[in-house]
Structure 1
């Protein structure tokens, strides 16, 4: 299950849609896929608040499906260190990029037999959310 390169461990999409437009659609895309938005971190603003200039917009959305989370946490509480799923949205070379770690890769780091189906389902859902945002 382990990928060979960092790029193999990610699900990435890009679009010419404006950054703000993509970010504005995250909550609805999550709801449409039975996921909830737990938190939002504007990394550019957080860095600026700490006196660090960072000139590229980057927002990280924390999303979760509580039933899926319960399933994997029941198998191994250490998986809490990988929850919730994070969806990073940033700009690169004139495009808006969406990126997230593959749940199948992340859960492969834990001793949690039986969570493969949950991880695959979450991965499919994260892909659907991202695809909806770039469509």
Structure 2
């Protein structure tokens, strides 16, 4: 269900490298959430660095949304770069696992597999 890899890079460097990889695969970065910063702004001290990239390929998103509009609840794809236990990790919920939760999952499977292959490549290139 999860795909997580470890990197020797710090969170900032890995997130920047991931953002570059995302663009090479013709996905867009819709937003980057800095979880640590956001929590600090809310008065919560959170020690683990965490960047969450919301990424999307517009053509594939349109394809799955045309098949099942409820899939909007699972979009965009989120890839996290975070620090835990003294190690930097890059990970995501596998698109195949996420889209399998929806009615008509069989029709979505091919697109989910394609997006999963590409996002895994992005993660591995950024590691």
Asked if these proteins are the same fold (TM beyond 0.5), I'd say yes
For Structure 1 versus Structure 2, the TM-score category normalised by the shorter chain is: over 0.9
* Alignment root-mean-square deviation, CA: 0.9
TM-score w.r.t. the length of structure 1 is: 0.90
Q: CA deviation at 1:72?
A: 0.5
Contact 1:39 1:63 in 2 (8 A): yes
3-state SS of the aligned residue for 2:112? helix
- Residues 1-135 of structure 1 mapped to structure 2, 5 A cutoff: 9-112=1-104, 113-134=106-127
Structure 2: tracts of 5 or more residues without a match: none
Structure 1, unmatched stretches of 5+, are 1-8
Distance 1:62 1:93 in 2: 24
Residue 95 of structure 1: how far off its partner (Å)? 1.9
Q: Deviations over 1:81-107 (max 9, x none)?
A: 000000011012222101100000100
Please give the TM-score of this superposition, normalised by the length of structure 2.
Answer: 0.95
CA displacement, residues 97-126 of structure 1 (integer Å, 9 cap, x when unaligned): 011000001000001241110000000011
Q: Which runs of 4+ in 1 moved over 2 A?
A: none
